Amino acid sequence: MKKYQPSEIEPKWQERWRRERIFQPDIKKAKKPFYNLMMFPYPSAEGLHVGNMYAFTGADIYGRFKKMQGYDVFEPIGLDGFGIHSENYALKIGEHPIEVAERTEKNFYRQLQATGNAYAWENTLETYDHDYYKWTQWVFIQMFKAGLAYRAKAKVNFCPSCKTTLSDEQVIGGFCERCKSQVEKKELEQWFFRITKYADRLLKNLDWIDWSEKTKVAQRAWIGRSDGAEIKFQIPNSKFQIRVFTTRPDTLFGVTFMALAPEHPLVLSLTKKAFRQRVEKYIEAAAKKTEMQRISEERVKTGVFTGSYCLNPINNQKIPIWVADYAVMGYGTGAVMGVPAHDQRDFEFAKKYNLEIKVVVEPLTGSLSLNQAFEGKGKLVNSGKYSGLESVEGGREIVKDLKKKNLAESKTTYKLRDWCISRQRYWGPPIPMINCPKCGWLPVPEKDLPVKLPYLLDWKPLGTGISPLAQDKDWVKVTCPKCGGQAQRETDVSDTFLDSAWYFFRYPTVGQPSAQKVAFDLEITKKWLPVSMYIGGHEHAVLHLMYSRFLTMVFKDLRLIDFEEPYKRFYAHGLIISEGAKMSKSRGNVVIPDLYISKYGADTLRCYLMFLGPFNQGGDFRDTGIAGMWRFLNRVWKLTYLLKDDREDPDLSRRKHQTIKKVTEDLENLRYNTAISAIMEFVNFLSKKKTISRQTLETLALLLAPFSPHLSEEIWSEILGNRFSVFQNPWPKYDPSLTKEEELTVVVQVNAKVRGQIKMAFSEAEKREEVEKKAKSDTKVAAYLAGRQIRKIIFLPGKLINFVI
Ligand SMILES: [Zn+2]
Ligand SMILES: [Zn+2]
């Protein structure tokens, strides 16, 4: 009898699956296409860690299940190897990014193959391959032509350690998403993508797309739509006015000060001479703070008076104008109307500087506290003719009246800002733009794509706001495509998130004749997209997932496609930790799958990862746990020793159909851990038998196939000698009539005399505690037992219970 040896069987099947193209769908002719996508891995070190494998295994299980349900599953993989992640790693180890990519690419693909996933190996792509980035550049040009890419001078995020600009989405709580350094603000001229134009569509579609709810919540918050009004405050005897955006026009009578952001363009013109020195000093100090520090709720609010006043448009009251750094330019208009009674930040500011606090909204129930602002809605008071109205109606009336005098307009604002797309780095697709002194900015003619990244010996970021590519003077020089004069190439590269915002459009086209001519073949795209199932990390909610939705909408508007949401379904998986702690290099607890695969095999690791907990919640990786899964698969293996072609008994058949039902439903809902435990129970049951039928072993191999593909293939094709492959066999069906629990009658005796009969579900009738409980609660039996001491209980599972009293 052969032992279970994954190191022998796993490479064997991986090789055969690939050779016989089992997981390579017919891209053009597939009848039931199912695009099963997992998130693009970015190689930021030498190889994959177990977190990647966790995500990919969960996605792969779903894909295999769909394949066995008869779909033409397309499960592509590639490497998001361009960009700051890989470049930072190259910097760290002091090797050229091109060489790092060449070396690690092989290792990544070797690892990906070793996990046993059902990849379409003929459709791989790497973002640093010029066959790919040619089309990333093409995407940029389409954006430019559509007026969606523009160049502007703006205060942008700058990471001093990565020495480049970052998008808002790449700044997490004030820190660089990549290297965790504190991000600064720098005034630079950059390329932007006009994502704000799509803010409303990005928001509205969230109502119907089938995504994990927490990811939708994160996107809604990031887009940050607020409906309100822009109100104009005149400066007396001056041409100036201050525009303020507010979502609470109902509190207008409660304004007691105006707070301008230190960067507000009117600040210096409004500051009176006597106050100038203090104001200038304040502005200087504010410039050193990050926006995050400034808007932090804990911080004590500060400000200085400008000496000027403006007029409240609703009652012409004079209002002092202050400069306060909790007002920021990015959101709204850079001016805050201070309503201390009804806004906590304004309240704190007013308390500190002894400004008036005027209550204009009272709660509908309960009373007002004077220790903090009342931010809720209620009934207007001290608000002239509007007093007595409810907040929403009062606000509407106030805006309506001010509109007539041209002092207000309804407005909607978003927190979302345009996507800063240029990076002063080396390792990315050069932005395909040309700057001509005569003609201005022009796109590189599409026939001249790709603009290849030149090989630079000195490729390290400079930190001057200029890309290292600028050092290659020959490369920078270019002929203007319009006037033929001498012009210069853009030397910034594009953000790595642009590479990954459209990669799934390219996958199905890879390897097709049209791949040379187009970014994505329209007919093929129509067949395979939108993606049927996308599984990945929630942490990309406002990065990759937002950007790819945006580009998809643009492609639709350019009439390249006829859908505008890229993923039919998005499922956010959980994260795994290791021995109770978050995995990190500094802790030294990053788990590399290779060691476990060589010790136990990929199947054991796959099953173990999926057994750690619900897939959307993650789990804790422990060495002791994986050994348990290894023993389980060995137990499955040993069942093959019992193989004997005989009839199944009805009790086994019921178990079998119940297990099929449970595993099918769990797989459909990605409840992998409970599916595995149902299979475990079934295996435990079978292990007690003396023989096992061919049919039963087949079912077991099929049920396990998505989880432990190699082991299942070995049992199916080798041990049972069925036709290769197990994955070309339909998913097992269950007979609903057999999944119902049969009821058994258990005889109840007291001192060996029959005193009653109880009916119980099949599985319960085998459990002594359950039967005992039910028997004791039977009124007839209870009468015999009342007041007596039970000395002994004799129990025959499913048949009889005898109380000896
Ligand atoms: Zn950084
Ligand atoms: Zn020109």
pLDDT at 465: 85
- Measure 430 CA to ligand 1 centroid, in angstroms: 20
pLDDT at 409: 94
pLDDT at 61: 98
Residue 320's nearest CA partner among 370, 355, 369 is 355
Nearest to 784 by CA among 803, 769, 760: 803
User: What distance in angstroms lies between residue 168's CA and the mean position of ligand 1's atoms?
Assistant: 13
- Give the closest ligand to the alpha carbon of residue 165: 1
Distance 534 CA to ligand 1 centre (A): 28
pLDDT band at 765 (very low <50, low <70, confident <90, very high): confident
Taking residues 71-78, report their average pLDDT: 98
Lowest mean pLDDT: which of 365-369, 440-444, 784-788?
Answer: 365-369
* Sequence-ordered alpha helix ranges (H) in 69-212: 84-93, 97-114, 130-145, 199-204
Q: In this model, does residue 331 exceed pLDDT 90?
A: no
For residue 158, the ligand closest to its alpha carbon is 1
Which of the ligands is closest to the CA of residue 484?
A: 2
- 494: its two tokens: 């594009």
Cα of 445 to ligand 2 centre, how many Å? 13
Ligand 2: centre distance to CA 494 (Å): 23
From 357-366, 411-420, 604-613, 759-768, the region with the lowest mean pLDDT: 759-768
Mark out the alpha helices in 94-166 (DSSP H runs): 97-114, 130-145
Q: For 485-495, how does the pLDDT look when each residue is reduced to its tens digit (9 = 90+)? A: 999 999 999 99
pLDDT category, 550, cuts 50, 70, 90? very high
In this structure, are strands 576-578 and 619-621 parallel, antiparallel, or unpaired? Answer: parallel
Closest ligand, as measured to the CA of 423 = 1
Residue matched to tokens 């295996």: 683
Dist. CA 482 → ligand 2 center (Å): 5
- Note the Cα 685 to chain centre separation in Å: 40
The 10 Å Cβ neighbour count of residue 754 is 11
Give mean pLDDT, residues 593-620: 95
- pLDDT, residue 588, reads 74
The whole-number average pLDDT for the span 564-583 is 92
CA of 546 to the centre of ligand 1 (A): 21
Question: Burial letters for 377-407: b for 16+ Cβ neighbours within 10 Å, e otherwise?
Answer: bbbbbebeebeebebeebbbbbbeebeeeeb
Distance from residue 92's CA to the centre of ligand 1 (Å): 13
Peptide bond connecting 725 to the previous residue in cis, omega within 30 degrees of 0:
yes
Residue 376, pLDDT score: 93
Query: Ligand 1 mean position to 176 CA, how many Å?
Result: 5
pLDDT band at residue 332 using 50, 70 and 90 as cut-offs: low
**Distance separating alpha carbons of residues 714 and 14, to the nearest angstrom:** 11
The total of other beta-carbon atoms located within 10 Å of residue 221's CB is 11
Residue 42: pLDDT band (50, 70, 90) is: confident
Q: What percent of the chain has pLDDT over 70?
A: 98
- Please tell me the distance from the alpha carbon of residue 661 to that of residue 739, in angstroms, as a whole number: 7
* Distance of CA 469 from the midpoint of ligand 1 (Å): 19
What is residue 133's predicted lDDT score, i.e. its pLDDT? 98
Q: Which residues surround ligand 2, an ion (CB under 5 A)?
A: 436, 438-439, 480, 482-483, 485
Give residues whose Cβ lies within 5 Å of ion ligand 1.
Answer: 159, 161-162, 176, 178-179, 181
| pLDDT tens per residue, range 511-547 | 999 999 999 999 999 999 999 999 999 988 889 999 9
Residue 738 has a pLDDT of 81
- 84 alpha carbon, closest ligand: 1
pTM to 2 decimal places: 0.84
Residue 518 C-alpha to ligand 2 middle, in angstroms? 28
Read off the pLDDT band of 649 (50, 70, 90). Answer: confident
Ligand nearest to the CA of 166: 1
Q: Which ligand is nearest to the CA of 487?
A: 2
Distance 487 CA to ligand 2 centre (A): 7
Cα-to-centroid distance, 484 and ligand 2 (Å)? 6
Residue 243 has pLDDT above 70, yes or no: yes
Pick from 667-671, 688-692, 795-799 the range whose average pLDDT is largest: 667-671
Mean pLDDT over 364-375 rounds to 85
**Listed residue (82, 172, 92) closest to 131, CA to CA:** 82
What SS3 state is found at 353? coil
Residue 472 CA, ligand 2 centroid: distance in Å:
21
Q: How far is the CA of 426 from the centre of ligand 2 (A)?
A: 26
* Burial group, residue 526, by CB count within 10 angstroms (0-12, 13-18, 19+): exposed
For the chain, what percent of residues have pLDDT higher than 90? 79
Average pLDDT, the chain: 93
How far, in Å, are 261, 263, 298, 397 from residue 295 at the CA level? Answer: 11, 14, 9, 31
Q: In whole angstroms, how far apart are CA 586 and each of 254, 590, 619? A: 52, 9, 20
* Ligand sitting nearest the alpha carbon of 481: 2
pLDDT exceeds 70 at position 336: yes
| Confidence band for 300, pLDDT divided at 50, 70 and 90 | confident
Average pLDDT over residues 720-743: 90
- Helical residues (DSSP H) of 669-767, grouped into ranges: 672-687, 694-704, 709-713, 736-739
β-bridge partners, 72: 33
